[in-house]
Amino acid sequence: MNNFEKNIIIAIDGFSSCGKSTLAKEIAQKINYTYIDSGAMYRAITLLAIRHNLIDGINVNEEELNKILDSVQIQFKLNKETHQQDIFINDENVSEDIRDIEVSDQVSIISKLKFVRQKLVELQRKLSKNKRIVMDGRDIGTVVFPDAELKIFMTASEDIRAKRRYDELVEKGIEVNLQDIRKNIKKRDFLDQNREESPLRKADDAIELNNSDLSKEEQLIWIENVLDEKFKK
């Protein structure tokens, strides 16, 4: 699979905490593609909004946030130690900060804003001008890259997703409550599917992957088989 020579875009969409990023990173590394985490972009904007006190409950000071976005630069840079893409706001590495539970709880409020999505979709398309990328998110196969050559839609049970997210945060030394995470996932699912701007939905030509009972290794084998069947003929 390391000699995969097709120049394509692989779009991976799905519900929160399904392991989209993990699978996207692994397949990108496996086939020597660039991985881009679109969700990290929305988390970065959410972190900015929190730091500038622009979120009050479910209300956002959109005018001020829009002004900030005009002067901010979001970049991905390869971490030579982890061999993963870190995300930077201007010159600050915020890869860890954007995974905070407060950011997770607010990101759906920010990601539904039309001007935020327009700015980030424009940036995402620029990053893909030479193809050979794997990008995951909520609307990659439906809005950002509707003509992507391969679209995957990932899902898993709510309980499985909550436990995976809980284990991930605990492993990083972050104190969290499993019930709070379950509530956060339920809330994000509802907001993602019901927002007016680019709601989460499965593209008509996407291949569904329910990974509730699949290990990381089994998921990687699954997508390798899909690539073989679709592009090696």
Q: Write the pLDDT tens digit of every residue in 160-201.
A: 999 999 998 899 888 889 999 999 899 889 988 998 888 899
CA dihedral 92→64→195→96, nearest 10 degrees, is 20
Which pTM was predicted?
0.82
Q: Residue 157: its pLDDT value, please? A: 95
When pLDDT is cut at 50, 70 and 90, the band that residue 58 belongs to is: confident
Angle at CA of residue 87, ends 176 and 167, nearest 5°: 25
Do 185 and 17 meet the contact criterion of CB atoms below 8 Å apart?
yes
Q: Residue 127: its pLDDT value, please? A: 83
Neighbours of 40 (CB within 10 A): 20
To 10 degrees, what angle do helices 178-194 and 158-171 make?
120
H/E element, 87: strand 84-89
Sequence-ordered alpha helix ranges (H) in 158-215: 158-171, 178-194
Q: Average pLDDT for residues 21-50, to the nearest whole number?
A: 92
Q: Write the pLDDT tens digit of every residue in 103-155.
A: 988 998 998 899 999 999 998 998 888 899 999 998 999 999 999 999 999 99
Identify the DSSP state of 99. Answer: G
When pLDDT is cut at 50, 70 and 90, the band that residue 233 belongs to is: low
Inform me whether the pLDDT recorded for 232 exceeds 80: no
Inform me whether the pLDDT recorded for 56 exceeds 70: yes
Q: Write the pLDDT tens digit of every residue in 72-114.
A: 888 888 888 877 789 999 999 999 999 888 998 899 899 889 9
CATH number assigned to the domain covering 9-227:
3.40.50.300
Q: Write the pLDDT tens digit of every residue in 207-224.
A: 999 999 999 999 999 999
Q: Residue 172: its pLDDT value, please? A: 84
Residue with tokens 């061999």: 83
Cα→Cα distances 102→47, 85, 95, 227, Å: 9, 22, 14, 37
